C-alpha cells in the first residue's frame, strides 16, 4: 500500500495506464510543459513526450474532439478540462458526438475516452471554477459519469475509466485534491474499481445517506456527530453516478427505511431527483418517511465566503435533515 | 471561371495534374460524375413517388465535380468525412450502393442499423469517418483521427473533411482548423460553398469575399476554386495532398458551386422564393457534367458515342440497390436499445 493524496492517486493511475498501454494519451491546456494547472500531469511530458502529452490551444471542443476522433481510430484519449466547468464548451462533443458514436456506427466504433477535471466548490472559486454539472451527463445516453471521494477509489476508477470502452466524464473534486490522503494498492496489483459499483463507507441502521464526491466526507462527519445522539447513518458512496448502483441503494433502504440524498449541485433536476424516483418506484413499501434531499440552493456558486457558504450544502445541513428524518 | 489561390507563391503556376490522367481514368471520372447525378435523381424520384417514405433527401445536383475531384486522387488508406451532399462519396470510398441505400431506407443492415439517417454513417475500416448534423464538429473530430495516425507513425495519411460555407461560421470549425494548423495535421477541409445554408445566403455567413480567406487566420493555404470545373478541383486537390502529406499542415479548399435544389426535398417550393430565378438559371448553365464532357471531347480522345449521357448501366445499378433496400428487413424494435454502451471491455458491473 502507498499512502497518497487524492490528487496523487489520480496522477499515479494516469501514469501507470500510460506505461501499460501505448494507445493512451493525454490532451489538455497547460498539461505538458507545465504539468497541469493543479499539477496532476507533472513529469508526464518528460517521460511520454509531446505526442502523448498534448499541450492544446484553449479549445475544449477540439480537446474532446481529438479524443473522439482518435478513439474512433483505436486510441484512448484522456482529456483534461482545466476546470470541469469548461466542459460546457465541449458539450456537443460529449453529448452529440462521443455519446452517440457507438449507436450511429451500428455498434462498430466504441469511443473510449475520459474527460476529467477538477470540479466543485468550497474553495472560493466563484461562478466558473466551482460547478458540479454531473446532472447534464447523467441525463445523456451513451456516457458514464464518475466521481470518487477517496484516493483508492480515484485510483481504481480512473484506471477502469481509461479501460472502459465508453465516454466517461470523470469529476475530481478539487477540495479533496490535497486535503484527503489514504492508502492505494501498489502498481503491480493492477487494482480496478468497476464502474457502476457503489461502496458503503459507513454502516448504520437508521438512515441511508446516498451521496458522492466531497459530500461523502461531509456525510461521514455528520454521521460521527449524530452517533452521539443515537442516530445511526449508513453512508453510501456512489463512486459512479452513471451507471447507478441501485442494488446497493435498495438493499440499504430495505434495512433503514429512511433515505437522505446529499449532493453538491443545485437541488432542482439533480441526480438526487432520479435516485428518489427510483427508490419510490422500486421500494415504496419499505419507506417509513419521505425521501429527503440536501443539495445546493438553486443558485450559482458565488464568490464571497458568506455567499458561497449560504448556497452550498454543509455538514450542519446534513445533520439537521437527518435529525428531522430520524424523528419522523 | 478563374481559379485563385489566396497564398500563391510569386509567379508559381498550378501544375495541370489532370493532364497526367490516363484515358481509362477520364472515362472512370466521367462515369463517377454520372453516378453522382443519377444517384441524386433516383432518390428524388423515389421520394416523389412514395417509394421512400421517411427522412429527407438532400440534393447534390451540380456538386458532382467536387465529390469526384476531391476523392479521385486519394490513396486507399486516406480518410474522408463526407456530409449530407456527398452521398456518392461513400460509394467512391468503398461502401456498396446497397449499403448506402439501406441507410437511406433505415434498414437493419445499414451501417447504422437504422439508428441514424442519411449521411451520418461511416466505416473506419474503409477510412470513412462518421459525421453528425453539426457539420463543424466533423472538422474537430478529424483532428483526432489524424492524431491517432501520428501516434502510429503514419503522418502521411490525409483526411479530407467536407463541410459547408455555413458551417465555417461555427466554433468547432475554427477550433478544429486552428488545432490542425498549430499541430500541422494533414487535414484537407473542402468547403462546398453552394451559396446557401438552408435559406441563409453566404454573405450572411461569411464576412470575407471568399471563404478561402479564412485560411489566412490559420496561416495555411486557402484556395477558392470553381467547384463546377472537375479539372480545377482535381488539380487543386493534388496540390493540397502534396502539401499535407509532406507534413506542411492543413489546407482549406473552397469549391464555389451552387445549390440547385432546396435544402432538402421538402424545401423545393420555398427554395424558389429565397433564391432569385436568374441566379438558378445562370448556374443551371454551369453544369459540371456538361462541362467535363465538353472537355473530354476537346481532348480528341473520345467520340460523342463513347460519352453517353445518363449511362443506362449506372441507372440500373442504382435501381437494383434501391430495390434491394426496399425488400431488405426493417430493424427489430428492441435493437433501438442496443449499441448505447459497449461493455466488451468488462470494467463495468
- The structural domains of chain B, ordered by start, are 38-327 (3.40.50.970)
Cβ atoms < 10 Å from Cβ of A316? 12
- Tell me if B340 and A110 make a contact (CB, 8 A cut-off): no
- Tell me if A103 and B344 make a contact (CB, 8 A cut-off): no
Peptide linkage before A243 cis (omega within 30 of 0): yes
- Tell me if A69 and B123 make a contact (CB, 8 A cut-off): no
Cite the beta strand spans of chain A per DSSP E.
Answer: 2-5, 24-28, 53-55, 76-80, 113-119, 144-146, 168-173, 181-184, 199-202, 207-211, 233-237, 240-242, 259-266, 292-296
**Which of A69, A71, A103 lies at the smallest CB-CB distance from B115?**
A103
Chain A residue with minimal CA distance to B348? A195
- pLDDT reading at B6 higher than 60: no
Query: What does the mean pLDDT of chain A come to?
Result: 98
**Which of B147, B148, B348 lies at the smallest CB-CB distance from A194?**
B348
Superfamily of structural domain A2-189: Thiamin diphosphate (ThDP)-binding fold, Pyr/PP domains (3.40.50.970)
- Tell me if A69 and B171 make a contact (CB, 8 A cut-off): no
> From the candidates A24, A56, A103, which should be mutated to test the interface with B, based on the most B CB atoms within 10 A?
A103
Q: Let me know if A129 is a catalytic residue.
A: yes
- Cell readout for B216 is 489566412
pLDDT score recorded for residue B234: 98
Question: Which of A129, A139, A188, A217 is an active site residue?
Answer: A129
- A140 touches B: beta carbon within 8 Å: no
Which residues from chain A sit within 8 angstroms of residue B185, using beta carbons?
A: none
- Residue B15 pLDDT grade (very low, low, confident, very high; cuts 50, 70, 90): confident
Q: Where are the domains of chain A?
A: 2-189, 199-327
- Tell me if A102 and B345 make a contact (CB, 8 A cut-off): no
pLDDT score recorded for residue A7: 98
Measure the CA dihedral A311/A147/A174/B345, to 10°.
-160
Instruction: Please tell me the pTM assigned to this model.
Output: 0.96
- Specify whether the backbone of A21 is left (phi greater than 0), alpha (psi in -120 to 50) or beta: beta
Which residues from chain B sit within 8 angstroms of residue A166, using beta carbons?
A: 341-342
| In contact, A98 and A78? CB cutoff 8 Å | no
| pLDDT tens digits, B286-338 | 999 999 999 999 999 999 999 999 999 999 999 999 999 999 999 999 999 99
| pLDDT tens digits, B57-94 | 999 999 999 999 999 999 999 999 999 999 999 999 99
pLDDT score recorded for residue A80: 98
- A242 touches B: beta carbon within 8 Å: no
Q: Which of the pair, B1 or B244, is modelled with greater confidence?
A: B244
Backbone phi and psi for residue B196, each to the nearest 5 degrees, phi listed first: -135, 135
- Specify whether the backbone of A235 is left (phi greater than 0), alpha (psi in -120 to 50) or beta: beta
Instruction: Name the B residues in 162-201 with CB < 8 Å from any A CB.
Output: 171-172, 175-176, 178-179, 182-183
Distance of CA A311 to the CA centre of its chain: 20
> From the candidates B90, B136, B334, B342, which should be mutated to test the interface with A, based on the most A CB atoms within 10 A?
B342
- Tell me if B172 and A67 make a contact (CB, 8 A cut-off): no
> From the candidates B133, B174, B335, B341, which should be mutated to test the interface with A, based on the most A CB atoms within 10 A?
B341
- Distance, CA of A101 to CA of A110 (rounded, Å): 7
CA angle (A252 as vertex; A247, A253 as ends), nearest 5: 95
- Tell me if B124 and A65 make a contact (CB, 8 A cut-off): no
* Consecutive 10-residue averages of pLDDT for chain A (328 residues): 97 98 98 97 98 98 98 98 97 98 98 98 96 96 98 98 98 98 97 98 98 98 98 98 98 98 97 98 98 98 98 98 97
Which residues from chain A sit within 8 angstroms of residue B344, using beta carbons?
A: 110, 165
- Closest approach of chain A CAs to the CA of B15, in angstroms? 33
- Closest approach of chain A CAs to the CA of B347, in angstroms? 5
Q: Which long-range contacts (CB under 8 A, 24 or more apart) does A243-247 make?
A: A243/A144, A243/A195, A243/A196, A243/B348, A243/B349, A244/A196, A244/A274, A244/A275, A244/A278, A245/A196, A245/A197, A245/A198, A245/B349, A246/A278, A246/A282
As a whole number of Å, the CA-based R_g of chain A is 19
- Distance, CA of A89 to CA of A82 (rounded, Å): 12
Strand, coil or helix: A257 = coil
Which residues from chain A sit within 8 angstroms of residue B121, using beta carbons?
A: 104-105
- B337 touches A: beta carbon within 8 Å: no
Chain B residue with minimal CA distance to A247? B349
Chain B residue with minimal CA distance to A113? B144
- B145 touches A: beta carbon within 8 Å: yes
pLDDT score recorded for residue B14: 73
Strand, coil or helix: B348 = strand
pLDDT score recorded for residue B12: 59
Chain B residue with minimal CA distance to A160? B347
**Which of A69, A104, A164 lies at the smallest CB-CB distance from B345?**
A164
**Which of A22, A52, A165 lies at the smallest CB-CB distance from B345?**
A165
| pLDDT tens digits, B48-60 | 999 999 999 999 9
- Cell readout for A253 is 433502504
Which residues from chain A sit within 8 angstroms of residue B128, using beta carbons?
A: none
| In contact, B200 and B231? CB cutoff 8 Å | no
| pLDDT tens digits, A180-203 | 999 999 999 999 999 999 999 999
- Specify whether the backbone of B249 is left (phi greater than 0), alpha (psi in -120 to 50) or beta: left
- B111 touches A: beta carbon within 8 Å: yes
| In contact, A163 and A194? CB cutoff 8 Å | no
Instruction: Name the A residues in 15-34 with CB < 8 Å from any B CB.
Output: 22-23, 25
| In contact, A76 and A162? CB cutoff 8 Å | yes
Asked if the domains A2-189 and A199-327 are classified in one and the same CATH topology, the answer is yes
| In contact, A265 and A132? CB cutoff 8 Å | yes
- Cell readout for A125 is 472559486
**Which of B121, B130, B175 lies at the smallest CB-CB distance from A62?**
B175
- pLDDT reading at B3 higher than 70: no
> Counting beta carbons within 10 angstroms of the beta carbon of residue A73, is it exposed (0 to 12), middle (13 to 18) or buried (19 or more)?
buried
- Cell readout for A225 is 456527530
**Which of A61, A100, A141 lies at the smallest CB-CB distance from B140?**
A61
> Counting beta carbons within 10 angstroms of the beta carbon of residue B171, is it exposed (0 to 12), middle (13 to 18) or buried (19 or more)?
middle
- pLDDT reading at B9 higher than 80: no
Q: What is the mean pLDDT of residues B206-214?
A: 97
Q: Which long-range contacts (CB under 8 A, 24 or more apart) does B306-314 make?
A: B306/B27, B307/B30, B309/B34, B310/B34, B310/B37, B310/B38, B311/B31, B311/B34, B311/B38, B314/B31, B314/B34, B314/B35, B314/B38
Is A199-327 CATH 3.40.50.920?
yes
pLDDT score recorded for residue A307: 98
- Distance, CA of A39 to CA of A50 (rounded, Å): 17
pLDDT score recorded for residue B7: 44
Instruction: Name the A residues in 185-214 with CB < 8 Å from any B CB.
Output: 192, 194-197
Provide, rounded to the nearest whole percent, the portion of chain A with pLDDT above 90.
Answer: 100
- Closest approach of chain A CAs to the CA of B16, in angstroms? 34
- Cell readout for B308 is 453517353
| pLDDT tens digits, B153-192 | 999 999 999 999 999 999 999 999 999 999 999 999 999 9
- pLDDT reading at B138 higher than 80: yes
**Cα dihedral sign, B110-B114-B117-B120:** negative
- Closest approach of chain A CAs to the CA of B78, in angstroms? 13
- Cell readout for A270 is 439533480
Chain B residue with minimal CA distance to A61? B172
Amino acid at each position: 500500500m502507498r499512502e497518497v493524496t487524492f490528487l496523487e492517486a489520480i496522477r499515479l493511475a494516469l501514469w501507470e495506464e500510460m506505461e501499460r498501454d501505448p494507445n493512451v494519451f493525454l490532451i489538455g491546456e497547460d498539461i505538458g510543459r507545465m504539468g497541469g494547472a493543479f499539477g496532476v500531469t507533472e513529469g508526464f511530458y518528460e517521460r511520454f513526450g509531446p505526442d502523448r502529452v498534448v499541450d492544446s490551444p484553449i479549445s475544449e471542443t477540439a480537446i474532446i474532439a481529438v479524443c473522439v476522433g482518435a478513439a474512433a481510430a483505436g486510441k484512448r484519449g484522456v482529456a483534461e478540462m482545466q476546470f470541469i466547468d469548461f466542459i460546457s464548451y465541449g458539450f456537443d462533443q460529449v453529448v452529440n458526438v462521443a455519446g452517440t458514436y457507438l449507436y450511429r456506427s451500428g455498434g462498430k466504433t466504441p469511443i473510449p475516452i475520459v474527460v476529467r477535471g477538477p470540479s466543485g466548490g468550497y474553495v472560493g472559486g466563484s461562478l466558473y471554477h466551482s460547478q458540479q454539472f454531473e446532472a447534464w451527463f447523467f441525463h445523456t445516453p451513451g456516457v458514464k459519469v464518475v466521481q470518487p471521494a477517496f484516493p483508492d477509489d480515484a485510483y481504481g476508477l480512473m484506471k477502469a475509466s481509461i479501460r472502459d470502452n465508453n465516454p466517461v466524464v470523470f469529476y475530481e473534486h478539487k477540495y479533496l485534491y490535497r486535503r484527503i490522503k489514504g492508502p492505494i494498492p501498489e502498481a503491480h496489483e493492477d487494482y480496478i474499481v468497476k464502474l457502476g459499483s457503489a461502496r458503503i463507507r459507513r454502516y448504520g441502521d437508521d438512515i441511508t445517506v446516498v451521496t458522492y464526491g466531497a459530500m461523502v466526507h461531509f456525510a461521514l462527519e455528520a454521521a460521527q456527530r449524530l452517533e452521539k445522539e443515537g442516530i445511526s447513518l449508513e453512508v453510501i458512496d456512489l463512486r459512479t453516478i452513471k451507471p447507478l448502483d441501485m442494488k446497493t441503494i435498495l438493499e440499504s433502504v430495505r434495512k433503514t427505511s429512511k433515505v437522505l440524498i446529499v449532493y453538491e449541485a443545485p437541488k432542482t433536476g439533480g441526480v438526487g431527483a432520479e435516485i428518489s424516483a427510483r427508490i419510490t418506484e422500486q421500494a415504496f413499501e419499505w419507506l417509513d418517511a419521505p425521501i429527503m434531499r440536501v443539495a445546493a440552493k438553486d443558485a450559482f456558486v458565488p464568490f464571497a465566503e458568506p455567499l458561497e457558504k449560504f448556497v452550498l450544502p454543509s455538514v450542519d445541513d446534513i445533520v439537521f435533515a437527518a435529525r428531522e428524518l430520524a424523528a419522523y | 471561371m478563374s481559379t485563385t489561390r489566396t497564398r500563391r507563391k510569386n509567379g508559381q503556376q498550378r501544375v495541370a495534374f489532370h493532364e497526367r490522367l490516363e484515358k481509362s481514368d477520364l472515362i472512370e471520372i466521367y462515369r463517377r460524375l454520372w453516378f453522382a447525378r443519377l444517384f441524386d435523381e433516383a432518390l428524388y424520384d423515389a421520394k416523389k413517388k412514395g417509394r421512400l417514405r421517411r427522412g429527407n433527401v438532400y440534393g447534390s445536383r451540380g456538386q458532382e465535380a467536387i465529390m469526384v475531384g476531391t476523392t479521385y486522387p486519394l490513396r486507399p488508406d486516406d480518410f474522408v468525412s463526407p456530409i449530407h451532399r456527398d452521398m456518392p462519396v461513400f460509394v467512391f470510398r468503398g461502401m456498396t450502393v446497397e449499403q448506402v441505400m439501406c441507410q437511406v431506407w433505415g434498414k437493419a443492415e445499414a451501417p447504422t442499423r437504422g439508428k441514424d439517417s442519411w449521411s451520418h454513417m461511416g466505416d473506419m475500416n474503409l477510412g470513412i469517418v462518421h459525421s453528425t448534423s453539426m457539420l463543424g464538429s466533423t472538422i474537430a473530430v478529424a483532428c483526432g483521427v489524424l492524431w491517432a495516425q501520428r501516434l502510429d507513425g503514419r503522418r502521411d495519411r490525409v483526411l479530407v473533411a467536407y463541410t459547408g460555407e455555413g458551417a465555417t461560421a461555427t466554433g468547432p470549425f475554427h477550433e478544429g482548423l486552428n488545432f490542425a494548423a498549430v499541430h500541422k495535421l494533414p487535414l484537407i477541409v473542402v468547403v462546398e460553398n453552394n451559396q446557401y445554408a438552408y435559406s441563409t445566403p453566404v454573405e450572411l455567413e461569411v464576412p470575407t469575399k471568399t471563404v478561402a480567406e479564412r485560411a489566412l487566420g490559420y496561416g495555411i493555404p486557402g484556395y477558392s476554386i470553381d467547384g463546377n470545373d472537375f479539372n480545377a478541383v482535381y488539380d487543386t486537390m493534388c496540390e493540397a495532398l502534396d502539401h499535407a502529406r509532406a507534413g506542411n499542415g492543413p489546407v482549406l479548399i473552397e469549391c464555389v458551386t451552387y445549390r440547385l435544389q432546396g435544402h432538402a426535398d421538402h424545401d423545393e417550393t420555398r427554395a424558389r422564393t429565397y433564391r432569385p430565378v436568374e441566379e438558378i438559371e445562370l448556374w443551371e448553365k454551369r453544369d459540371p457534367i456538361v462541362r467535363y464532357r465538353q472537355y473530354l471531347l476537346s481532348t480528341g480522345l473520345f467520340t460523342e458515342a463513347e460519352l453517353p449521357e445518363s449511362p443506362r448501366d449506372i441507372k440500373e445499378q442504382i435501381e437494383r440497390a434501391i430495390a434491394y433496400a426496399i425488400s431488405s428487413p426493417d430493424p427489430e424494435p428492441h435493437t433501438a436499445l442496443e449499441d448505447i454502451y459497449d461493455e466488451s471491455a468488462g470494467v463495468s458491473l
